[in-house]
Structure 1
């Protein structure tokens, strides 16, 4: 069980579950040491516990400032000496000190084809813009919100009949595919951040991010 992973969540944890399933299948070189939530009622905690994973709750509402919360979160995370910190639906804006501490070893998934549509309501924005393609991106976390270097994406076509909810559902299916792949690549040492640029097997991914496309049955 080489390599320690800590996952941070705030909600249902469906992306986390996709990673758990891939670890349990022996396809990821490492183990999930802990799942930490800032919300005590997050369903993802139940998912993690059902998988036999240690869970922690650090309720952000009990802290006077974002800085104090992040400092306490760092202490919890560091107890597990993680090689990788994963934001899997962790709905917190992180302080610069927190981000810098895990620079190059913290990743996030975002429901858009970054750099398009950083922030919220990505599916609605893609539909309103008349985009023909939408998707999800996994990126290293930097101080810029959803602005870190991307190293894998997945896309789905946008249908004329799409609602934000219908589009979100199809994108989520792709998220469940690429997030475990991203974790696998990182834990195998295949993907690394060098001078702010993601590299795959030693080759820069700048301008050439791998992208998965939805199968016809998923479109």
Structure 2
């Protein structure tokens, strides 16, 4: 039976594209939909190029209705993947897809997680703290920012001369290498 993925993204969508590329040509997996809260997100153009339907939504629809949850249930989505999505998931959606929502965070949680800790803010904090390493954490989503059970972590060294941009590049290499593989393992229960 075909597994169905929904990807949420707020930004450029490079991780969403890597996941789509990973499953391209597979008969057993379909990227059913990309959802975004940002009408200017680069992920929208990537989705069009990849022929993946896009759903844009606003804050009231996401937090004050169950329309997104119901639509995902009606589409029989097996796994929701947050690929650079910046909003906290509503409790009703988390409950409806318990242990079927995964997120990637650009740091080694529990360090540098929580509200407001995303993208360059994370990398700036890592450099400012003089950390010797950073990395990625792939985790299940719960009702708090970055507090769900960890599925996978990978690290990279941070040199004393590294800028936040250097750290971002090293972390993105880890994201692109590991996120699609871990999504597949979670999707198939491996």
Q: TM-score, normalised by structure 1?
A: 0.79
Task: Answer whether contact 2:11 2:84 (CA < 8 A) is retained.
Answer: yes
Shift of 1:128: 1.9
Aligned to 2:37: 38
Structure 1 counterpart SS, 2:103? strand
Between the aligned partners of 1:78 and 1:38, the Cα distance in structure 2 is: 19
Between the aligned partners of 2:166 and 2:28, the Cα distance in structure 1 is: 34
Between the aligned partners of 2:35 and 2:148, the Cα distance in structure 1 is: 22
Aligned to 1:49: 48
Task: Answer whether contact 1:136 1:153 (CA < 8 A) is retained.
Answer: yes
**In the TM superposition, what whole-angstrom CA distance separates every residue of 1:62-119 from its partner, at most 9, and x where no partner exists?**
x2x86315x2221332232100001111111122222122111000000111111113
Structure 1 segment 1-219 matched on structure 2, within 5 A? 2-24=2-24, 26=26, 29-60=28-59, 63=60, 67-68=63-64, 71-119=66-114, 120=117, 121-190=121-190
Task: Answer whether contact 1:158 1:167 (CA < 8 A) is retained.
Answer: yes
Structure 1 counterpart SS, 2:138? strand
Structure 2 counterpart SS, 1:126? helix
Between the aligned partners of 2:25 and 2:151, the Cα distance in structure 1 is: 23
Shift of 1:176: 0.9
The CA RMSD measured in Å over matched residues stands at: 1.8
Q: TM-score, normalised by structure 2?
A: 0.90
Shift of 1:124: 1.6
List runs of 5+ in structure 1 lacking aligned partners: 191-219
Aligned to 1:193: none
Structure 1 stretches of 4+ with a deviation exceeding 4 A read: none
List runs of 5+ in structure 2 lacking aligned partners: none
Task: Answer whether contact 1:29 1:188 (CA < 8 A) is retained.
Answer: no
Shift of 1:25: 5.4
Structure 2 counterpart SS, 1:91? coil
Max Rg structure: 1
Task: Answer whether contact 1:74 1:98 (CA < 8 A) is retained.
Answer: yes
